[in-house]
Amino acid sequence: MMFSPLILVLSSLILPAACQFGDDPPDGFHPDPLTAGLFGLLCLFAITYSVLIIWTFVALLTSRGHRAPYVFLLPTLVFFAWSNAAFIALIILGNIPSLSFSDTFPVLLIPTLGFISNLLNDWAVVLQFLAIIAVIWNRENTLRVATEGKFGGHHPALIALHVALAALTLAFGTAAEAYNMDTNVQYYTTEELFFGDALHHRIVVYQQLFYVFSSFAVLTAVDVVVSTVLLWRGWKNAGIPDKITNVVLYALVPVYCALSLVIMIFTIIFSPSGLPPTVTVTVVESAGLANTLLATGFSITVIIIILALSIKKANWNIGGVEEPRQQYWVPQPQYTYAAPPQPQPGYYGGAPQGPQPMQYAPTEEARPGSYADVRPGGSIPASPPSVHTSPGYTPAASPPPMHTSPGYTAPSSLLMHASPGSYSPPQSSQGQPSTPYPPDKSPGYSTPPPMHTSPGYTTPSSPPMHATGSYSPPQSSQGQSSTPYPPEKGGLHLTYVPPTSQI
């Protein structure tokens, strides 16, 4: 559909060129100078319409948020192009003297081409007016949003005026061309002498319908001027500059008013009150050429101005600010190479990196039957309590060695020589010994059963360490504490069974 006008134009250009090569001179295309100039001008307009149709189609696809003006502008250009192509075909067929419309072509071909050209031109005039109103409508919405309803919006009276002018212009334009075509169908092949009064009456009715159409077309310019001025004042009162409104006010409105003025002037010229009946054909053709040049030229200029508004899309935003680009990718979390995993509740996250300082429970005063805390740099109490054990008792390997009574055997995993005095194992955070120790010696005491460990667990072994007045836990080769792992994760399950004598 978009390239149909271009095909018609190229066919129209080929037809007169082929007719020039006929053997008989009357077989060729022989227009007079003014008609030839009009023909060349129409061909230039056809090429321009084809380019503008492509531009409008691209603007329609890329104008997100303000497509309404281009929705009306695309059929406007298509109708103008088809009207122009039908006019070209009408000129070509009307200037070949040898064509016989009684044998070769239908009798009503010339009136039909004129009807198509005029009807599509009238429809395009209405759609062009609606395209301008769509631009103004968009800016009114933008002003209302920018001012939170204080300015802008659509006045009911202006809305009614837009609808009434568009509907009446379309109705009277269609009625005028349809009535003219009906007159041609009834009286085109008859003699005017037999139907003089009836034919004259129908011609007068057609002219009156066309005058009404032209009047409403001129009034559309008044509507555009009033709407644009009110819109411009709204932006000015809001204190917000708007480039689209400025272009419409200072460029589009003057050109559209000039187009309406041309329509009004040439409507008067071609009326019975305009040119006298005694004028020559040359004067009529000159007036027709001027009408086509000015009206079509101003109409194309209006269309180009509307299309130029689509070049910079930021002008359609409030204050002409660029819209932020939408992020089409999913943001990924920042990746840290070799980062330790985050600890989760209920899971063991491994030993901390690097050596950690030892923390001890609060110090208790040494008293008979109790243990005292040993801090680095501190002193060991001078009177340690004696630890009573049963014969053959061997304490567990996990607690650190301490100074005990005769008969006590220190664990093999850690040997520690303490200064004279008392020694007590480290206290847990609750103030209790971190490893269960045997109670006081009683008859029948036996060694507790072995501790239960998780599968694959091996008790770490550390080199002997000598400490004097202080204690440090054994370190592994990686600088980490060799403290057994907690239960359920390969660690050590400590189970204490009381002596038989206490059960």
Q: What is the pLDDT of residues 35-64, one digit of tens each?
A: 999 999 999 999 999 999 999 999 998 877
Domain ranges, ordered by start, for the chain: 4-320
> If you ran DSSP here, which 8-state letter would residue 62 be given?
H
Topology of 4-320 in CATH? Rhopdopsin 7-helix transmembrane proteins (1.20.1070)
Q: What is the pLDDT of residue 150?
A: 80
Q: What is the pLDDT of residue 52?
A: 96
Helix axes 196-238, 156-187, angle to 10 degrees: 160
Residues of the chain with pLDDT below 70 are: 1-27, 100-104, 190-195, 319-503
Instruction: Give me the residue label for tokens 């709407």.
Output: 227
DSSP-assigned beta bridge partners for residue 481: 475
- Are the CB atoms for 101 and 178 separated by under 8 Å? no
Distance between CA atoms of residues 183 and 58, nearest Å: 42
Q: What angle do CA 141, 147, 149 make, to 5 degrees?
A: 65
| Element holding 262 (H helix, E strand) | helix 253-269
> If you ran DSSP here, which 8-state letter would residue 247 be given?
H
Q: What is the pLDDT of residue 218?
A: 96
Q: What is the pLDDT of residue 155?
A: 86
Q: What is the reported pTM? A: 0.61
Distance between CA atoms of residues 77 and 356, nearest Å: 82
Q: What is the pLDDT of residue 469?
A: 45
Q: What is the pLDDT of residue 168?
A: 97
